[in-house]
Amino acid sequence: MSVLDWLFIIFLSSAILFFLFSFFAITVRVMNRKKVQLLEKKRPKNKIKRKKWRRHYLQLKKKQGNRLKTAILLFIFAIMCSGAAGYSRYYQMTNLNKQDGDIIIQTYFLVDAIEEELKKIENGADAQKSQEKLQNMISLLVSYSSNTPSASLSFKGQKLLKRYYVSSKELGVNLNSQSTGALTKEKSSEYLSDIEKIKQQQQTVFKTFDVNQSALKQKKQ
């Protein structure tokens, strides 16, 4: 499990415990209040007994006040932990984990590199030489895009990434199926059209998960 998974479990468990302790403190306070009410009815008339009674009465009243403060404090802690658990879960659902982040970065560079080679073929470059260069990149693209999006993401996020991964994998598989020399100018144009669709999906992924594309472009240079 990731650090965020552990944080979510810790905060949620803490919130539940604080709620239970708060409820327990309130229950004890209610029981203490009944004791105070019962003691008030049994106020002795004898001076000596009354002094002892008063001391016991004030102790119970003090405990009653302390229980209330404790219950309120525990309840506040429970609310804070619940908020922290909710935020950590929300962060998980709306942000890429390390594995998905690495896949997005690597596929971004690979798709760009494949596009460059296909454009060279489209412009009349030696298809066989370009195809040799493409083989390693195609294998990597298929390998990266064969992964499954993290289950911690929201349903929408998982669906978006899965669609992007499938499109990238299909591009790699289709290119890999081309025999040496079969990657003609016309075929390259078809694959470039597919890449354009993948790049549109890529932009949606970047926007959804707030990926800094400018930083990726600088890294590429």
Are the C-beta atoms of residues 36 and 57 closer than 8 Å to each other? yes
Query: 201 with 105, same domain?
Result: yes
Tell me: do 31 and 126 sit in the same domain: no
Is 87 found in the same domain as 113? no
Is the same domain home to 137 and 192? yes
The overall average pLDDT reported for the chain is: 84
Reported confidence tier of residue 179, pLDDT bands at 50, 70, 90: low
**Cα gap 108→103, rounded to integer Å:** 8
Give the count of domains, the chain. 2
Tell me: the pLDDT tens digits for 4-38? Answer: 778 888 989 999 999 999 888 888 777 777 776 66
% of the chain exceeding 90 in pLDDT: 41
Q: Are residues 216 and 139 in the same domain?
A: yes
Residues 104 and 213 in one domain: yes
Least Cα distance to 118 among 108, 109, 127 occurs for 127
Residue at which a domain ends, from 79, 94, 109: 94
Same domain, 113 and 212: yes
Same domain, 90 and 103: no
Beta carbons within 10 angstroms of residue 200's beta carbon: 12
CA dihedral (111, 117, 121, 127) positive or negative: negative
What percent of the chain has a predicted confidence (pLDDT) above 70? Answer: 86
Which domain, by its residues, includes 198? 98-220
Q: Does residue 185 carry a pLDDT above 80?
A: no
Residues 84 and 112 in one domain: no
Q: Are residues 12 and 30 in the same domain?
A: yes
pLDDT at 128 over 60: yes
Q: Which of 39, 67, 94 is the last residue of a domain?
A: 94
Q: Does the predicted TM-score (pTM) go above 0.85?
A: no
Q: Average of pLDDT values for 101-127?
A: 87
- Looking at 74, 94, 114, which one is the last position of a domain? 94
Residue-level pLDDT at 130: 75
Same domain, residue pair 81 and 103 = no
Is the CB of residue 142 less than 8 Å from the CB of residue 103?
Answer: no
pLDDT in tens, 95-109: 898 899 999 999 999
